[in-house]
Amino acid sequence: MFGAETLDHVGIPVRDLERSEKFYQETLGLAFFTRRKNADGSPRHTYVLAGENIIGLNLPGIQVPASPSGAPRYGIAVDSEDSFEETVKRIRQSGVPCEAVEQHGPDSPFVRSFCFDDPDDNHLEICLRRDGPKGIHLSHVVFETADLGCSNHFYSQALGLEPLAEERSEQFFRFRNRQILGLKKVAALSDRTKKHGRAVHVAFNVTQEDFDRMVALITELKGRSLGDHRSEDGLRPPGERSLYFFDPDTNYLQITAHGEENWDMLSDEEKWRRIVENRKKLGKGISSFDAGKKIGG
């Protein structure tokens, strides 16, 4: 059956890495994974884990107000009623903007959910899922769309996601493993959708069998291919194929079909050595963002 298998990782724009590390670990209760550096050794982003899913806290972030629509929004599922209550309490105590806890009906994929913002005005949500993968995990992402018909078609046909019921004026779709992608119809896209921030993207895993057909459908159904810069930089192991692309509303996405090996966690030194070497061959250098010169300046 054709269709994206899982929601794998997300990058979120943040402006103060220490503040975000503290919030995501101490308040949300996520596990620290690793800190990554720019070519000059300055901080680039921190990865925290929601179970097996990486959440990237990406500098330099963006200076725009919270989106009025409630999207883009990133949802994290916790694994028990107790954990949900304790996390809600810690989030409320932290002083970030919060909504009320919501109880969902028996047909919803959610039992309870709680929306709030992180210290950089990113919309987040924690939830207890009625179904879905076990344990703490990235439960869902919700994007804005200015043309629901077009993006409906894009996510159901090009990405092969299964449409679910609409909830809170958001159209939900299901990945093969029951993680969820939602679409919120808006009259105009917010600056949070339009200004991404460096490396702020949402990544899905797909099978090798589906990859080529999906790439063709993405451009056919009004997405825009951005190629695979990691492959050009010599950072893909043999057999791994990936594409970065925009959906019809310029939400920045990635699909990856993994091979046998995984090189995602090459050391920073080795990663930058390969990037500089490969770009030299192409007659290119690295951007000032990658070098680190613009960070913190």
Place of tokens 């996390």: 87
Please report how close the Cβ of residue 90 comes to Fe ion at its closest, in angstroms: 28
In the complex with Fe ion, the residue whose CB is nearer, 151 or 256, is: 256
Please report how close the Cβ of residue 53 comes to Fe ion at its closest, in angstroms: 12
Please report how close the Cβ of residue 275 comes to Fe ion at its closest, in angstroms: 15
The residue number whose beta carbon is nearest to Fe ion equals 203
In the complex with Fe ion, the residue whose CB is nearer, 20 or 254, is: 254
In the complex with Fe ion, the residue whose CB is nearer, 77 or 253, is: 253
In the complex with Fe ion, the residue whose CB is nearer, 76 or 91, is: 76
Give contact residues for Fe ion (rule: CB under 5 A).
203, 254
Please report how close the Cβ of residue 122 comes to Fe ion at its closest, in angstroms: 17
In the complex with Fe ion, the residue whose CB is nearer, 18 or 261, is: 261
In the complex with Fe ion, the residue whose CB is nearer, 54 or 128, is: 54
Please report how close the Cβ of residue 11 comes to Fe ion at its closest, in angstroms: 7
In the complex with Fe ion, the residue whose CB is nearer, 170 or 247, is: 247
Please report how close the Cβ of residue 104 comes to Fe ion at its closest, in angstroms: 30
3-state SS of the chain is CCCCCEEEEEEEECCCHHHHHHHHHHHCCCEEEEEEECCCCCEEEEEEEECCEEEEEECCCCCCCCCCCCCCEEEEECCCHHHHHHHHHHHHHHCCCECCCEECCCCCCEEEEEEEECCCCCEEEEEEECCCCCCCEEEEEEEEECCHHHHHHHHHHHCCCEEEEEECCEEEEECCCCCEEEEEECCCCCHHHHCCCCCCCEEEECCHHHHHHHHHHHHHCCCEECCCHHHHCCCCCCCCEEEEEECCCCCEEEEEECCCCCCCCCCHHHHHHHHHHHHHHCCCCCCHHHHCCCCCC
Please report how close the Cβ of residue 243 comes to Fe ion at its closest, in angstroms: 11
Whole-angstrom distance, CA of residue 137 vs CA of residue 159: 21
